[in-house]
A and B are shown apart, each in its own frame.
Chain A
Amino acid sequence: MALSKEKKVGIKSKRKLKTDAAVCHPLIKTSTIAGTYYGCSLASMYTAVAIPRVIPITHCGPGCNSKQTAIGSHAHQGPGYGGGVVTPSTNIGENEVVFGGQDKLRDLIASSFKVLDADLFVVLTGCIPTLIGDDVSSVVREFQEKGKNVVFADTGGFKGNNFIGHEQVIQAIIDQFVGNYDGDKELHTVNVFASFPFHDAFWKGNLVEIKRILQGIGLKVNILFGHESGGIAEWKDIPKAQFNLVISPWLGVNTAKHLQKKYNQPFLHIPVIPIGANETNRFLREISDFAGLDKEKTENFIKQQTDDYYTYLIYFNNFYSQYRMMGSPAKFAVVGDSAIALSVTKFLINQLGLIPTKQIITENPPEEFRNSIVEQFQQIDAEFSPQVEFWEDAYSVSKSLEDFDYGSDASPIILATYWEKDLAKKLHGTIIELSFPIQNGLVLSESIVGYKGAISLIEKIYSTAINYPSTMG
Chain B
Amino acid sequence: MARKPINFKTTVVENREHRLGTITSWDGSASELAELSNYSLGDGSCSSKGRACQFCEQNSPFVQGSSCSESMVLCQLGYVRGAALVQHSPVGCAVSQAGLNTGFKLGLKRHYTIENEEYMMATSNLEESDMVFGGADKLRQAVTDVFERVHPKIIFISSSCATAIIGDDIDGVADELQEQLGIPVIPTHCEGFRSKHWTTGFDASQHAILRQIVQKPKKKQEDLVNVVHLFGSDVFTPMFKELNLRPNFAVDFGTVEGLQQLSEAACTVGFCYTLSSYLGAGLEQEFGVPEVHAPQPYGIEGTSAWLREIGRLTNREELVEKYIAKEIKRITPKIKEFKKKLKGVNGFVSTGSAYAHAIVEVLRELDIQVDGTLVFHHDPIYDSQDPRQDTLAHVINTTGDIPFFSVGNRQQFQFYQLLKRVKPDFIAVRHGGLASLASYVGVPALSLGDESSAIGFQGILNLGELIIETLARKRFSNDIAAHVKLPYTQWWLDQTDPYILAKNPGLIYEDDEDTIPVEVGRVPVQLEAM
Contacts and interface: CB of A to CB of B under 8 A. Distances in A.
Interface of A: 1, 3, 5, 7, 9-11, 30-36, 38-43, 53, 55, 58, 61-71, 74, 78, 81-82, 84-94, 96-97, 107-108, 110-119, 126-128, 130-132, 147-149, 157-159, 161, 232-233, 236, 392, 395, 417-419, 422, 437, 439
Nearest to B103: A439
Contacts of B91: 33, 36, 38-40, 158, 161
A115 B489 contact: yes
Contacts of A111: 60-62, 501, 505, 508
B263 interface: no
Contact of B98 (A117, A147, A233, A439): A439
B90 A157 contact: yes
Interface stretch (B142-150, B235-243, B324-332, B447-455): B142-150
A86 B487 contact: yes
A158 B124 CA distance: 12
Given A61-B192, A61-B193, A82-B487, A43 B95 contact: yes
Q: In the complex, which of the residues B116, B121, B137 has the most CB atoms of chain A within 10 Å of its own CB atom?
A: B137
B472 interface: no
21 contacts: A3-B134, A32-B138, A32-B141, A40-B90, A42-B92, A61-B68, A61-B161, A64-B92, A66-B67, A67-B93, A71-B95, A89-B66, A114-B62, A115-B491, A119-B518, A128-B162, A128-B165, A130-B131, A158-B131, A236-B520, A439-B99
B166 A94 contact: no
Contacts of A62: 65-68, 192-193, 198
A304 B281 CA distance: 73
A34 B149 contact: yes
Contact of A84 (B92, B95, B433, B492): B433
A46 to B, nearest CB: 11
A88 B412 CA distance: 10
Contacts of A439: 98-99, 101-102
Nearest to B168: A1
A110 B95 contact: no
Contact of B95 (A10, A67, A85, A108): A67
B159 to A, nearest CB: 12
A89 B64 contact: yes
Given A9-B140, A32-B122, A89-B63, A114 B515 contact: yes
A418 B146 contact: no
A36 B97 contact: yes
Contact of A63 (B122, B198, B515): B198
B196 interface: yes
A128 B92 CA distance: 13
Contact of A149 (B130, B410, B507, B518): B518
A66 B93 CA distance: 10
Contacts of B528: none
Interface stretch (B39-47, B169-177, B307-315, B355-363): B169-177
Contacts of B97: 34-36
Contact of A131 (B63, B166, B508): B166
Contacts of A31: 124-125, 138, 141-142
Contacts of A132: 165
B145 A32 contact: yes
B182 interface: no
A181 B110 CA distance: 60
B333 interface: no
B26 to A, nearest CB: 17
B98 A97 contact: no
Contacts of B173: 3
Contact of B525 (A108, A117, A419): A117
B514 A113 contact: yes
Interface of B: 60-71, 90-99, 101-102, 116, 120-128, 130-131, 133-134, 136-138, 140-142, 144-146, 149, 160-162, 165-169, 172-173, 176, 191-196, 198, 410-413, 432-434, 436, 485-492, 501, 505, 507-509, 514-515, 517-518, 520-522, 524-525
A89 B336 CA distance: 47
Contact of A114 (B121, B514, B521): B514
A67 B71 contact: yes
Contacts of B126: 158
Nearest to A87: B65
A128 B164 CA distance: 10
Contacts of B68: 61-64, 66
Nearest to B492: A115
Q: In the complex, which of the residues B501, B520, B525 has the most CB atoms of chain A within 10 Å of its own CB atom?
A: B520
A127 B92 contact: yes
A206 to B, nearest CB: 21
Given A31-B141, A158-B127, A437 B98 contact: yes
Contacts of B486: 117
Contact of A66 (B66, B134, B490, B525): B66
A33 B123 contact: yes
A233 B520 contact: yes
B524 A92 contact: no
A63 B192 contact: yes
Given A33-B91, A34-B146, A96 B102 contact: no
Contact of B165 (A55, A66, A68, A131): A131
A66 B141 contact: no
Contacts of A233: 520-521
A114 B491 contact: yes
A82 B65 CA distance: 12
A63 B515 CA distance: 29
Given A32-B124, A97-B193, A114 B95 contact: no
A114 B166 contact: no
A313 to B, nearest CB: 34
A445 B124 CA distance: 36
A67 B433 CA distance: 13
A32 B125 contact: yes
A158 B95 contact: no
Contacts of A128: 161-162, 165, 193
Closest 10 CB pairs of A and B: A63-B68, A65-B65, A40-B92, A85-B433, A111-B62, A437-B98, A34-B122, A61-B192, A107-B61, A158-B90
B94 A36 contact: yes
Contacts of B487: 55, 81-82, 86, 116-118
B98 A70 contact: yes
Contacts of B413: 86, 115-116
B84 to A, nearest CB: 9
Contacts of B196: 93
Contacts of B485: 81
Q: In the complex, which of the residues B90, B141, B432 has the most CB atoms of chain A within 10 Å of its own CB atom?
A: B90
Contacts of B410: 85
Contacts of A107: 61-62, 505, 508
A115 B416 CA distance: 12
Contacts of A68: 92, 95
B96 A70 contact: yes
A113 B515 contact: yes
A63 B520 contact: no
Given A1-B133, A33-B91, A63-B192, 7 more contacts: A3-B136, A3-B172, A31-B124, A36-B97, A127-B165, A131-B165, A395-B120
Contacts of A33: 91, 94, 122-123, 125
A9 B144 contact: yes
